[in-house]
Structure 1
Amino acid sequence: MARTSALRDAGIHPKLSVVFVGENESSLAYVRNLERTGNRVGVDVAVDRLSAQATAADVRARLHALASDEHVHGVMLQQPLPPHLAIREIADAMPAVKDVDGTHPTNQGHLAFGSGTEFVPATPAAVMLLLERSPHWPLRGRRAVMIGRSIVVGAPVAMLMLAQDASVTILHKESGSLQPYVKMAEIVVVAAGAPGLIRGEDLAPGATVIDVGTTLVDGVLTGDVDFESAVTVAGAITPVPGGVGPVTNVALLRNVVKSAERAGR
């Protein structure tokens, strides 16, 4: 709040533009929460809607327009995209200096090389902030499992945990049975988009469990971990909703403020 107040006193109004393609209900719920958080902390959040039929060229054109808008300090492309769009066809159109969710290949590359990046993707940053407050921090030598391999969550989280010297196993839909790996893990991060994928009996007693999954099931936002069974086994666990999501919002808006501060220098 102090940083946004200082910016506004200097005539700079931190602004995030969210490019939203289609009608994904889980994503809409996330963006609504982001708008509310932005209002509370003094960051303007504008949702730039494109139809579900938008082409890659349409999305790229919108990103290029936002790159030249001096009133916009951060740009985020909300994912997942509709099935006909591939992030690899679009990511390089993201203005790197406003890429507050770390989507641009340059920022992804810096993250992979461990050489530091201007903006760490918000959800992976949130996962790490939560892990810092878990019983298994520091991560050095810890056995960690990352379920999911997307460039939005899975791959960046795995790289960030590796940078903290954890022993990381990445699992995905072609990995076969997950349980043998999960049962041995001290840290389990799940971002598969599969409600109830992990249950309490799959976990090692005392494990730290970070549930990144958000799927609407009968109108209820649901995680990838069956919370009721897992909470009796885990040493620390995040709920859905109310776990990773709010911390992600904070991490993202912090990046927007950082970008606005840099623009004001």
Structure 2
Amino acid sequence: MIALMRIKRRPVPNRTAREISIEVYRSLDTPGLHAHQGSNTLSAGLSGAIDVGHRGTTPVFSPTVSASVQNGLYPTAVFCDIPGPSSSTDEPGTGHGVNNGSVSVGMSVLPHGLDLPVGLRSRVDDILMEIRSVSSIISHLCFNGFTGVCKKTDNGHTAIEIDGKLIANDIKATLATEIYNMRNSTGKVPGLGVILVGNRKDSLSFVRIKKKACERVGIDPLVVELPEDCTESEVLDAVSALNHKDSVHGILVQLPLPSHVNEEKIINAVNVEKDVDGFHPINMGNLAMTGRSPLFIPCASRGCVEVLHRYGVEIIGKRAVVIGRSKITGLPTSLLLERHHATVSVVHAFTKNPEEITREADILVSDVGVPNLVRGHWLKPGVVVIDMGSTLVKDSNSTHGSRVTGDVCYEEAMVKASVITPVPGGIGPVTISMLLSNTVEAAKRAYQWTES
């Protein structure tokens, strides 16, 4: 199976054609990929068949997607031809239509730094308007989401698998452009300070991923490493130093901390205006209180709602069940869903009959770190499943001898769900992009800068 459409926004400026092409190739890393490199042109394309079905309908689309990079500029065009239903409709002014059983979509992106004549500039503006119009049609064709992969189970049921990496890449591309404009306007860029205590393998890996993500979009990362046996005072001193550093706009304390360090005291010491994790009591309190707005929303929770919005999942009035009540994910996610007017139930270790409560969910969110806790019979048909759990389990079939799995039994949930996040590759990448977004917002607030 392949994604119906993979469209990337403009990448970071001042990158070589080869660097951009590598990103294009990776985004199309699917069977059927074909690529070509010329003297001044790099291009990649994808073609193949996909079965798309939703709630009993199973039309078949055969998409062809291509992207090209010329002379080191941005991708100049992205096109998608989709043989579709035999209907005949046309939307005036959109530059596309459904005629004789096919849909053709063309998208053009303005290369950076070109001084275009007035006439051509006007045409580019028209194209950008077409892009906005076409996007709504694409979303409709893909059942309110253009970054998912539709999969069909043996019994014919189809669920949409959310591709968190594509969503994250889209967000990061937007942030990269915004940071580029900020640098041109102010001469400054956002900075993220990360405090890492000890050498836990998982913490080291998470910090490495976050640092790399910062560098890719133009955020300046500063990692402060402390030994496992450091004192609580030393951690507080590190927080204080970052609080007073003007070039650092966001502070992240990598959790968990060693047992002899009071996590609550450390988190409370972070300047609330730099609390990009959203864990400070003031931010959490404002999230919980009607009529108040937190400066920052915890990244995983914000990522959850971002995914729901991008896939057109209605939250208002829906029954949402959150399994877990941790201060990092479960609690803020339940509060955020309430803010979006869902009716929220929280399942925890002392809940009686969790299966019955979970079976009522229109939207299910789980993050307790118990592999395959949620089984298929816990779910009602059509439920939207957001699996935030992430646990390393032994797997003799894996080259590494282990694999990451979520809280939800994926194979069983696919039979019931309408939309589902995989583990890995679901919420995780989106969570990282939300951290970057919070950091950019902190910098904009500090510099009192808005993009014109």
Counterpart residue type for residue 196 of structure 1 = N
Residue equivalent to 1:63 = 239
1:217 shift after superposition: 2.2
Is 2:209 the partner of 1:33? yes
In proportion to residue count, which structure has more strand?
Answer: 2
Shift of 1:119: 1.1
Secondary structure of 2:359's match? Answer: helix
Q: Distance in 1 between matches of 2:262 and 2:390?
A: 20
Task: Output the amino acid matched with 1:6.
Answer: N
User: Which of 183, 200, 208 lines up with 2:384 in the alignment?
Assistant: 208
Tell me if 1:230 matches 2:413. Answer: yes
Q: 1:193 to 1:136 in 2, by over 3 A?
A: same
Question: Residue in 2 aligned with 1:132?
Answer: 309
Deviation at 1:62, TM superposition (A): 1.4
* Structure 1 gap segments, 5+ residues each: none
The one-letter code matched in structure 1 to 2:239 is: L
Equivalent of 2:317, from 136, 141, 146?
141
Tell me the secondary structure at the aligned position of residue 90 of structure 1. helix
Amino acid at match of 1:119: F
Encode CA deviations 1:211-242: one digit per residue, 9 max, x unaligned. 11122224422221222221222111111111
Gaps of 5+ in 2: 1-175, 395-401
Q: Distance in 2 between matches of 1:100 and 1:93?
A: 13
How far is the alpha carbon of 1:199 from its aligned partner? 2.1
Query: Distance in 2 between the 1:215 and 1:59 partners?
Result: 28
The answer to whether the Cα contact below 8 Å between 1:136 and 1:142 also exists between their aligned partners in 2 is no
Contact conserved, 1:136 with 1:186, CA < 8 A, in 2? Answer: no
Corresponding residue for 1:47? Answer: 223
Give the alignment of 1:108-257 within 5 angstroms.
108-114=284-290, 115-134=292-311, 136-137=313-314, 139-218=315-394, 219-257=402-440
Deviation of 1:196 after TM superposition, in Å, equals 1.6
**How far 1:135 sits from its partner (Å)?**
5.5
Q: How much has 1:201 moved relative to structure 2? A: 2.4
Question: 2:310 and 2:206 mapped to 1: Cα distance?
Answer: 23
Residue 153 (structure 1) shift: 0.8
Structure 1: which amino acid aligns with 2:178? Answer: R
Matching residue's letter, 1:220: R
**What letter matches 1:121 in structure 2?**
P
Deviates more, 1:76-85 or 1:221-230: 76-85
Alignment partner, residue 100 of structure 1: 276
Structure 1's 22 and 191: CA in aligned 2 closer, same or farther, altered over 3 A? farther
Contact conserved, 1:222 with 1:240, CA < 8 A, in 2? yes
Partner in structure 2 of residue 259 of structure 1: 442
* TM-fit CA distance, 1:177: 4.0
Q: What amino acid is the match of 1:175?
A: T
- Alignment partners' CA distance in 1, 2:226 and 2:323: 30
1:130 is paired with a residue whose SS is helix
CA distance in 2, matches of 1:93, 1:118: 16
Match of 2:179? 4
Q: Distance in 2 between matches of 1:37 and 1:171?
A: 33
Q: How does 1:5-20 map to 2 (within 5 A)?
A: 5-9=180-184, 10-20=186-196
Cα offset, 1:52, TM superposition? 3.2
Q: 1:131 to 1:91 in 2, by over 3 A?
A: same
TM-score normalized with structure 2 length:
0.55
The secondary structure found in structure 2 opposite 1:232 is helix
Bigger Rg, structure 1 or 2: 2
Q: Which residue of the other structure, out of 74, 87, 90, is the alignment partner of 2:250?
A: 74
- Structure 1 distance, partners of 2:305, 2:249, is 24
- Which one has more relative contact order, counting CA pairs under 8 Å at least 6 apart? 1
User: Which segment is superposed worse, 18-27 or 181-190?
Assistant: 18-27
Task: Say whether the 8 Å CA contact 1:16–1:73 is kept in structure 2.
Answer: yes
Question: What is the identity, as a one-letter code, of the residue corresponding to 2:177?
Answer: A
The one-letter code sitting in structure 2 at the alignment partner of 1:259 is A
Deviations 1:101-143 (A, max 9, x none): 1111111111111310111111110011012134541x12211
